[in-house]
Amino acid sequence: MADCTVSIAGMGKAELSSSPAQTKLMPTGHKQAVVTAGRPLSDALNELLSKKQRKQAVAFRTGGKLYDLSAPVDRDIEVDFVMADSPEGLDIIRHSTAHLMAHAVIDLFGPEVKVAIGPSTDDGFYYDFDREEAFTPDDLEKIETRMLQLAGSVMPFERETAGKDEARRLFAEKHQEYKVELIDQIEDETVSLYRLGDFVDLCRGPHVPHSGLLQVFKLTRLAGAYWRGDEKRPMLQRIYGTAFPSPKDLKNYLFQLEEAKKRDHRKLGRELELFTIQDEVGPGLILWQPKGALMRKIIEDQWWAEHYRHDYELLYTPHIARRDLWKTSGHLDFYGENMYSAMEIDEVGYQLKPMNCPFHIAIYNTGKRSYREFPIRWCELGTVYRYEKTGALHGLMRVRGFTQDDAHIFCRPDQLEDEIYNILDLNMKVLRLFGFDSYDIYLSTRPEKSVGSDENWESATAALKMALDKKGYDYELDPGEGVFYGPKIDIKIKDKLGRSWQCSTIQVDFNLPERFALSYTGSDGKEHQPIMIHRALMGSLERFFGVMIEHYAGAFPVWMAPVQARLMNITDSQREYTEKVYGELRRLGVRVEKDVRNEKLNYKIREAQVRKIPYMLIIGDKEMAAGEVTIRLRDGENLPAMKIVDFAELVERQSAEEKKTSY
């Protein structure tokens, strides 16, 4: 019978050995153990891991799949132990804690509470419940207390396999109709169940060995969620939480969570008067207030300046188009459920645009194209409309109408690599300009369902890869996650709290040029099909703006702040001079506002600090006599008094320095 090699995940696999069962320290730092079929996995745990490590082992992996540590080993296999502090281990801990929470809810509020689903998430877990009474923050404290009691009882997670009919009966008897519905949608004839004490749940697993490993958690908030995300189905109560292997990890996370609350773009957007969303206008539709609109204009101007330097031309296209255009493009087939209903104009069907691509193609087709024209680089800040379910809407991050910083490049195959390289160069310049210099990059390859020849896919993927390598960027392969029409690069920026946000994307497209019969005359005099590249650097202005608010916590750099300075007089006797300074600063190009209310100076200063205004310009009798202003920074530091023109030059220098540093 062959031996089985066992190694710790993350430490590398031990070398195969035919020696008797043993544990020894290898020169490389690996630990080696020999396991044969039928031998308890606990023997390998005891031999391979220290006592401390054994407490951290939560599952094992073999053949690319994860299993409970209690799973029987009935054949010779090579396994990696999954430790609690690994990404997979953390996911298992959080999923197991969701079960623990559901157990506590049933214990506290009775078996009439119906449980729905409880997955792990990127930063924790949640569970959805159907209960007549609403949960309260006080209930969360009670649930946490009961969870700690259950964790302390060190109950094992026990996996069972049952036929679908048996499982249906089990959950039907408990009046858990959501579980019955889930079982009906499973194609296999058997399902897996997990028991934790007297609580049983439908689950694929795996889970930690016992509840004693689940003592570091926190329930964070309550929310509503439609069953299966369908607004026509029951509204459930969702309890969010998080869990970690160590108290230190949880403490750090909760600190980050508090910081995130302070930076919430919805809260700051309201306080700083940047944007508003109103029910009478419609959910997911943004109203840009004067300060937000001004800041958006500043962003757009910088965006266009960079594009002009990189040889792009600007386009503007309509908000609606004939329905037939979306049939040709394939959007009605692939994105129909995300498009708004058709409208009839002059007995012809029209629809709001979900994307800008077909319009740029229509412009391409206005004339015959030659290989000498390429590459053609067209960009547009185009507002598009996509249906999002009400429950998915979230401030600026998820909306129904948004402006893409869109661009399409038409090029020859021999130009593809250079164009991707140039896009990456522009992409990073724009991200750095707005303060983002940390990101993760993913290269997504051909999915199962796709269009285009193998040759096209291989050359496009190779071009993306070569451009990334040429730039020296670290990236991860994301197999099979390309779009149906071509491979892509995705860039997720990281904010000051280390959170990732999907923004930039570069996509190679073979589909639309074929659907719209695009062509150009090559150097050989024959007709050829161009390659089309879709790319967005910020993604959408709304989402990018929301990320920037949270990244800077509303304290924007001077160059992009919608209000760079606020003037404030001490008494009414300086009001006329304040008005004069206000007009002069605006003439000099400073974005300034005035506060000449009959309020105490300290009150005015505090309000300006809350509004995150970079400079507070104070005017009293002394300043008025000298033709100066006294300057206070938003962090409380004071600068010497200076002439109006000198202050305008200070703002200009500071803005230029900030932009220079960004590059």
Q: What are phi and psi of 551, to 5 degrees?
A: -60, -45
Q: Can you state the percent helix, strand and coil of the chain, rounding each to 5? A: 40, 25, 35
From the list 55, 127, 122, the residue with the least C-alpha distance to 90 is: 122
Q: What is the DSSP string of 282-342?
A: -TT--EE-HHHHHHHHHHHHHHHHHHHHTT-EE----SEEEHHHHHHHTHHHHSGGGSPPP
Reading the block at residue 367, the tokens are: 């004339």
Cross-strand pairs, 314? 379
Q: What are phi and psi of 383, to 5 degrees?
A: -80, 125
- Count CB atoms within 10 A of the CB of residue 312: 18
Active site residues: 357, 386, 404, 406, 408, 488, 534
204 contacts 71 by C-beta, under 8 angstroms: no
Sign of CA pseudo-dihedral 535, 539, 450, 339: negative
Reading the block at residue 121, the tokens are: 């998430």
**Which residues lie closer than 8 Å to 91 by C-beta, 6 or more apart?**
120
CA 437 vs. chain centroid, Å, equals 16
Using CA atoms, how far residue 607 sits from 546, 599, 603, in Å, is 22, 11, 6
Q: Could you give the 3-state DSSP secondary structure of residue 200?
A: strand
- Look up tokens 């190009």; give the residue: 589
CA dist., res. 124 & res. 334, Å (int): 32
The C-alpha R_g of the chain, in whole angstroms, comes to: 30
CA dist., res. 483 & res. 464, Å (int): 14
End-to-end CA distance of the chain: 62
From the list 272, 233, 37, the residue with the least C-alpha distance to 116 is: 233
From the list 661, 611, 613, 606, the residue with the least C-alpha distance to 633 is: 613
